[in-house]
Amino acid sequence: MKPVRTLLLALGLVAVLRSADAESMPVSPSSTNVVVQASVSELAAGYAAAISQMSLKGLVIYFQGDGKVVALKGIRSARALNGVLLVAFSAGDMLAINVERIVLISDGTRTPQG
């Protein structure tokens, strides 16, 4: 009895849908919010993930300062915060670096060229 009931329900639904006038049905535009992570946020997250995999003992972050490349040493931790890398040092102080200014993150064996 259940398959017959389902078949009748399906046929009734098809009949209703066919008889409905498509032009008489109001169509309201739906809005969709899409959240796209900015590329600098992705870069910051990638840098933080890379730093967490490296030995902090000789870790150096080189970034473009005021006309020169600055080396940061004594890093205890780093985490992404939107488009910046929040770096904590062994002495307890912290620094937020714009990730677009980072030139190189190294274990101390390499330095930026130029």
| Torsion of the alpha carbons at 90, 81, 42 and 30, rounded to the nearest 10 | 170
Predicted confidence (pLDDT) at residue 109 exceeds the cutoff of 70:
yes
Residue 44 lies in a domain: yes
Give the confidence band of 113 by pLDDT, cuts at 50, 70, 90: confident
**What are 31-51's pLDDT values in tens digits?**
666 665 568 999 999 999 999
Give the CATH number for residue 50.
2.30.30.520
Exposed e or buried b for every residue in 71-81, given b needs 16+ CB within 10 A?
Answer: ebeebeebbbe
**What's the total number of domains in the chain?**
1
Please state the pTM of the whole predicted model: 0.64
Looking at per-residue confidence, does 6 or 37 come out higher?
A: 6
Which residue segment(s) compose the domain that 77 sits in?
Answer: 39-106
Residue 114 lies in a domain: no
Residue 17 lies in a domain: no
